Structure 1
Amino acid sequence: MRIVVVGGSGHIGTFLVPRLVHAGHEVVTVSRGQRSSYVDDPAWSQARHVTADRDDPAFPEAVAGLQPDAVVDLICFTLDSATALVERLRGHTGHLLHCGSIWRAGPSLKLPLTEENGPPPLGEYGIAKDAIARMLKDETRSGGLVTTSVHPGHIVGPGWHPIGPLGNLDPAVWRTLSAGEPLDVPGIGTEFMHHVHADDVAQLFEAALTHRDAASGEDFSAVAPSALNVRGYAQIAASWFGRTAQLRPVSWVDFRRTAGDDAAQASWDHLIRDHYFSIDKARALLGYSPAYEPEQAILEAVRWLIDHDQLDVATPLTV
């Protein structure tokens, strides 16, 4: 197939584009610039690269003009943008795959969450992702364009910082854990976060392309086989440095005062959702088989950051 990957040089595209090239597809990546992927692969030389701006009203026409058999849209964030692309591709393209987010579900009421039992979303981002997924499902079920939405968890991989044990991107947590120093934890640390390696997300997109009929009109959660809660994540991460996590429960008011508004808000946004998703549907319909447990994916990212002098730790990794 000729497959157009919109946003192909990002986290997921870094792994998806080589997968598709190796599988024998003709791959065209579309992005605003020529940013390099996070991981080198000779397959990139076999992909065609096209520059286009997602915010340009002519963007849907530019994508359609590439005459794709399938389009994988990794950077769509509004219902209007998604709708415009659907309307232009309807009747001309065989399959549109959209990258959503597990934040299409709000704070959990029952675990594990599934594609069917997610609570209403919170915030502009989650509300938009949920609206797009519902529009795509309705589009296919009404006899229009064949669509699939894939909803990744917190994407992890070499080249960027993972969401850390406190639910934010503050790198200081890694120095604290690696030094065996006390770590302030808001509450008692039982909230879940569901990570996923970027290559496992790419695997699910590839499976949906391969099994188009099974994926038609469906939505899938792309997450690791298990999820980590705050205290478990911290204990596992500390053990990588030969340490035991010294967790100190504090109130959210105290945590905000010491962590700062931005880091505390990020922690709140992640931990209030308390997400742990099932992958049973993706396994049953598409054969999804993630290669990474969450701690394996996170360790790979942390090791890369340390090896490239992008993360300050007190002691070396022992694993």
Structure 2
Amino acid sequence: MRVVVIGGTGHIGTFLVPRLVRAGHEVVSLSRGRSPRYADDPAWGEVREVVVDRDATERDGTFARTVADVEADAVVDLICFTPESAATLVEGLRGRTGHLLHCGSIWRHGPSLRLPVTEANGAPPVGEYGIAKAAIAAHLASETASGGLVTTTLHPGHIVGPGWHPIGPLGNLDPGVWWRLSAGDPIVLPGLGAEAMHHVHADDVAQAFELALADRDAVAGEDLDVVAPSALTVRGYLEIAASWFGQRAMIEHVSWERFRGETPAEHADASWEHLSRSHVVSIDKARRLIGYAPRYEPDEAVLESLRWLVEHDRLDIARPLLDR
């Protein structure tokens, strides 16, 4: 097939594009062209890369036409964040493309009421991002059900991989937590640490997109959650991460009020957004429909990311990571 990947040089695209090339597809990668890929792969030598500023071309009304003019068999949209953007692309591709695959988010589920969370039992979304992702998925499913463009939405967890900082054990991007864990310093933790987060390696998300592309009929109009085989509690994440440095996690349990008082607002707000949802998400549907088989447990994916950051002088730690 000829496949367009919108956002091809981002987290997922870095792994998806080479997968598609190796599977024999003709790949066209659309991106703003402002940042390098997160990992090198010789397969990129066979990719047609097109520089497109989505925001600017959506404003002037040419983005959807630019994508449609490639005359692709399938389009993978990795960087759509509003229902309006999704609707515009659908209008432009209807009748011109055989399959539109959208990247959603497990935040289309609200704070957990029942575990594991499934595509059918998730709570209503909260927050602007989650509400938008849920609305996009609903619009795409309705489009397919009405006999229009065939669409599929995949909802990843917290994406991790080499080249960027993972969501850490406190549910934020504060790099200082890794220093404190490596030094054996106390970690101030709001609550009991029983809340959960569900990560996924970017290459496992790429695997899911590749599988969905290969079996359009199985996933027509469907939305699938794609995460690691297991989730981590905050307490477990801290203990596992401390062991990577030969340390024990020194945890001090505090109230959310105290945590907010001692933590920069950016990190405290991120912690609340992640931990209040406490997601543990099922991948049974993705396994059943497309044979999704993630390679990475969440801690393995995070450790790979940390090793990359340390090796590239992007993270300060007090003690080196142990060889494992």
Structure 2 residue aligned with 1:7: 7
Counterparts of 2:35 and 2:273, CA distance in 1: 29
- AA aligned to 1:52 is V
| Matched residue, 1:39 | 39
Q: Aligned pair 1:247/2:251, yes or no?
A: yes
Partner of 1:156: 160
Match of 1:193 among 186, 197, 208: 197
Query: What is the one-letter code of the residue matched to 2:51?
Result: T
CA distance, structure 1, for counterparts of residue 258 and residue 49 of structure 2: 49
Normalised to the residue count of structure 1, the TM-score between the two structures is 0.99
Aligned to 1:317: 321
- Counterpart of 2:16 in structure 1 is 16
Instruction: Give the Cα separation in 2 of the matches to 1:232 and 1:73.
Output: 34
Q: What is the alpha-carbon distance in structure 1 between the residues aligned to residue 180 and residue 31 of structure 2?
A: 38
Structure 2 counterpart of 1:307, which letter? Answer: E
So what's the TM-score if we normalise by structure 2? 0.98
Q: Deviations over 1:184-224 (max 9, x none)?
A: 00111010000000000000000000011101100011100
The whole-number CA distance in structure 1 between the counterparts of 2:314 and 2:261 is 26
Match of 1:84 in 2: 88
Q: 1:22 is aligned with what amino acid?
A: R
Partner of 2:98: 94
Q: Indicate the residue corresponding to 1:223 in structure 2.
A: 227
In structure 1, what residue type is equivalent to 2:30?
Answer: V
Q: Which runs of 5+ in 1 are unaligned?
A: none
- Does residue 175 of structure 1 match 2:175? no
Cross-structure match for 1:48: 48
Secondary structure of residue in 2 paired with 1:30: strand
Shift of 1:33: 2.0
- Post-superposition Cα deviations, 1:218-255, rounded to whole Å, max 9, x if no partner, equal 00111000000100000000000001101100111111
For residues 116 and 16 of structure 1, what CA distance do their matches in structure 2 show? Answer: 27
SS in 2 for 1:270: helix
Aligned to 1:27: 27
Letter in 2 for 1:60: A
Corresponding residue for residue 278 of structure 1: 282
Q: Paired residue for 1:108, among 101, 109, 112?
A: 112
Q: Deviations over 1:32-65 (max 9, x none)?
A: 2252210000001100011112122210000001
Amino acid at match of 2:302: I
Letter in 2 for 1:12: I
**Greater CA drift, 28-37 or 257-266:** 28-37
Q: Which residue of 2 aligns with 1:132?
A: 136
Cα distance in 1 between the residues matched to 2:291 and 2:133: 24
CA distance in 2, matches of 1:256, 1:309: 29
Q: Deviations over 1:142-194 (max 9, x none)?
A: 11100000001000000000000000000000011111111000111010000
Q: Distance in 2 between matches of 1:139 and 1:16?
A: 25
> Is 1:209 aligned to 2:213, yes or no?
yes
In the alignment, the residues of structure 2 paired with residue 252 and residue 303 of structure 1 have an alpha-carbon distance, to the nearest angstrom, of 31
2:125 corresponds to which of 104, 118, 121: 121
Amino acid at match of 1:155: I
Q: Which residue identity lines up with residue 311 of structure 2 in the other structure?
A: D
Deviations 1:97-132 (A, max 9, x none): 000000001100000000111111111111000000
Q: Distance in 2 between matches of 1:305 and 1:167?
A: 18
Amino acid aligned to 1:151: H
SS in 1 for 2:213: helix
Distance 2:35 2:83 in 1: 26
- Work out the CA distance in 2 between the residues paired with 1:34 and 1:162: 21
Q: Comparing 89-98 with 253-262, which one deviates more in the overlay?
A: 253-262
Residue type at the aligned position of 1:29: S
Could you tell me which runs of 5 or more consecutive residues in structure 2 were left unpaired when the two chains were aligned. Answer: none
Corresponding residue SS for 1:272: helix
1:185 is paired with a residue whose SS is strand
Distance across 1 between alignment mates of 2:52 and 2:185? 48
**Number of aligned residues:** 319
Deviations 1:1-21 (A, max 9, x none): 000000000000000000000
- Whole-Å Cα distance in 2 between the matches of residues 34 and 317 of structure 1? 32
Structure 2 distance, partners of 1:34, 1:308, is 20
Secondary structure in 1 aligned to 2:50? strand
Amino acid at match of 2:3: I
Q: 1:148 aligns to what SS in structure 2?
A: strand
Q: Helix, strand or coil: the match of 2:110?
A: coil
In structure 1, what is the Cα distance between the partners aligned to 2:223 and 2:151?
9
